[in-house]
């Protein structure tokens, strides 16, 4: 005696419902609107924040700061502080500041264009007062990226600076 074989699968209500859901979702993903009224939209492309495009791009360069290499780089939001007519440049490369001695004007706000050239590595600039307290702390940015820090007016003096992520990265800011 041969066992009976059902040539057609038995479609139970639960299987039919599952199949209908799967097909409905598949149809919804292929069209802009599914039968359930859901709209499928691909994620929007990444765009820079308004703060990134609002960062000043034309500012005078300080002769006292040795120029760092120029190249294509992305912008990041500027840190809070004052804005001024003087811009100095610092670059992080190979877990070191390329210009360990910076100069800025006393008693007026200035900007630091900070170029993080270390791919995938976070850096920032943290300027300290002589007592060790913070004079200015720039936001940490992961490279390769360029950001502009707006530094408030500082009185004349010498200020050590470092990267908070890599405290061995140090330099000196002379404000005069």
CATH topology of domain 62-175: Immunoglobulin-like (2.60.40)
Ordered alpha helix ranges (H), the chain: 13-30, 50-54
Q: Residue 40, SS3? A: coil
CB count in 10 Å sphere of residue 82: 14
Model pLDDT for residues 28-72, shown as the tens digit of each residue: 444 444 444 444 444 455 544 444 333 333 333 333 333 333 333
pTM given for the model: 0.55
Model pLDDT for residues 113-155, shown as the tens digit of each residue: 999 999 999 999 999 999 999 999 999 999 999 999 999 999 9
DSSP 8-state assignment for residue 124: -
């Amino acid at each position: 005696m041969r066992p009976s074989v059902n040539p057609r699968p038995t479609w139970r209500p639960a299987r039919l419902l599952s199949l209908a859901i799967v097909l409905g979702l598949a149809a919804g993903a292929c069209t802009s609107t599914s039968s359930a009224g859901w709209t499928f939209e691909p994620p929007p492309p990444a765009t820079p924040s308004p703060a990134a495009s609002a960062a000043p791009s034309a500012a005078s360069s300080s002769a006292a700061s040795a120029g760092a290499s120029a190249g294509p780089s992305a912008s990041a939001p500027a840190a809070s502080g004052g804005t001024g007519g003087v811009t100095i440049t610092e670059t992080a490369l190979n877990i070191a500041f390329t210009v360990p001695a910076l100069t800025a004007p006393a008693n007026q706000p200035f900007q630091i264009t900070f170029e993080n050239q270390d791919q995938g590595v976070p850096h920032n600039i943290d300027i300290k007062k002589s007592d060790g307290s913070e004079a200015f702390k720039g936001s940490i940015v992961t490279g390769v990226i360029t950001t502009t820090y707006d530094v408030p007016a500082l009185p004349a003096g010498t200020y050590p600076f470092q990267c908070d992520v890599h405290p061995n990265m140090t330099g000196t800011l002379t404000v005069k």
